[in-house]
């Protein structure tokens, strides 16, 4: 295995150091280096590396360049190598599809591991920092789920329709040709799904989540 890798950073000494260090690795082939986002895009087009390692703080719009790279050259894995330990940019870039986020305080072996992991289709985040990123991503996902109402199944929608008409469990059962016990089972399921404690709160929750035109009627 020989991974073709390119480095892009606007700090000349750091860039030269990276190229010099990783050129000695038996499993890496350094095919190009650059200093700006324009260089990164040109390298991607002309050299087609397996992995490109680039800083965020460079001349040009790094975020836009990375989005373009991911969209136009999905076979090239992008690793961000940055001094920034801000959580949100890392989350956004990982969700966008980058294959690695490595902090510049990391060891040379960490970056090497990131390159190999990216090449193998994995995502690498600097240890320690990774925990913060994962927690942030999970928190955001829970928040999104909390903002999206649970989808009701067809039978549950029928039960809701009866509720909104003011029917009792027995009346709903007769309408749907199911037992009163089955209706109670659905009521319990609906209360758990909508996180309410009783029938009154259930009716209120249903009314809050739907407009009149959306409500199921029969």
Q: Which domains does the chain have, with CATH numbers?
A: 3-144 (3.40.50.2300), 154-214 (1.10.10.10)
Is pTM beyond 0.75 here? no
Percent of the chain beyond pLDDT 70? 89
Asked if 53 and 115 touch (Cβ cutoff 8 Å), the reply is: yes
- Identify the bridge partners of residue 80 per DSSP, sorted by sequence position: 54, 101
Indicate whether 216 pLDDT > 80: no
pLDDT at 212: 42
pLDDT at 21: 96
The mean pLDDT value for 156-185 works out to: 88
Confidence band, pLDDT 50/70/90 cuts, at residue 94 = confident
Joined tokens for residue 129: 């920092």
The three-state (H, E, C) secondary structure of the chain, written as one string: CCEEEEEECCCHHHHHHHHHHHCCCCCEEEEEEECCHHHHHHHHHHHCCCEEEECCCCCCCHHHHHHHHHHHCCCCEEEEEECCCCHHHHHHHHHHCCCEEEECCCCHHHHHHHHHHHHCCCCEECCCHHHHHHHHHHHHHHHHHHHCCCCCCHHHHHHHHHHHCCCCHHHHHHHHCCCHHHHHHHHHHHHHHCCCCCHHHHHHHHHHHCCHHHCCCC
Torsion sign across C-alpha atoms 206, 209, 211, 216: negative
Indicate whether 210 pLDDT > 60: no
Indicate whether 151 pLDDT > 50: yes
Confidence band, pLDDT 50/70/90 cuts, at residue 149 = low
């Amino acid at each position: 295995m020989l991974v073709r890798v390119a480095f892009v950073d606007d700090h000349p000494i750091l860039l030269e150091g990276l190229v010099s260090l990783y050129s000695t690795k038996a499993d890496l082939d350094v095919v190009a280096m650059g200093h700006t986002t324009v260089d990164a895009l040109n390298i991607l087009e002309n050299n087609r590396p397996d992995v490109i390692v680039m800083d965020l703080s460079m001349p040009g719009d790094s975020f836009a360049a990375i989005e373009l790279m991911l969209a136009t050259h999905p076979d090239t894995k992008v690793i961000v190598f940055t001094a920034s330990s801000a959580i949100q940019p890392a989350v956004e870039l990982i969700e966008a599809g980058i294959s690695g986020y490595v902090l510049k305080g990391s060891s040379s072996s960490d970056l090497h591991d990131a390159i190999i992991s990216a090449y193998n289709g994995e995502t690498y985040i600097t240890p320690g920092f990774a925990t913060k990123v994962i927690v942030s991503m999970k928190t955001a996902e829970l928040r999104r789920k909390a903002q999206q109402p649970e989808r009701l199944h067809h039978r549950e929608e029928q039960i809701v329709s009866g509720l909104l008409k003011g029917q009792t469990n027995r009346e709903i059962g007769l309408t749907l040709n199911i037992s009163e016990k089955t209706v109670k089972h659905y009521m319990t399921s609906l209360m758990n799904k909508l996180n309410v404690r009783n029938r009154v709160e259930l009716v209120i929750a249903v009314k809050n989540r739907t407009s009149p035109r959306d409500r199921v009627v029969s």
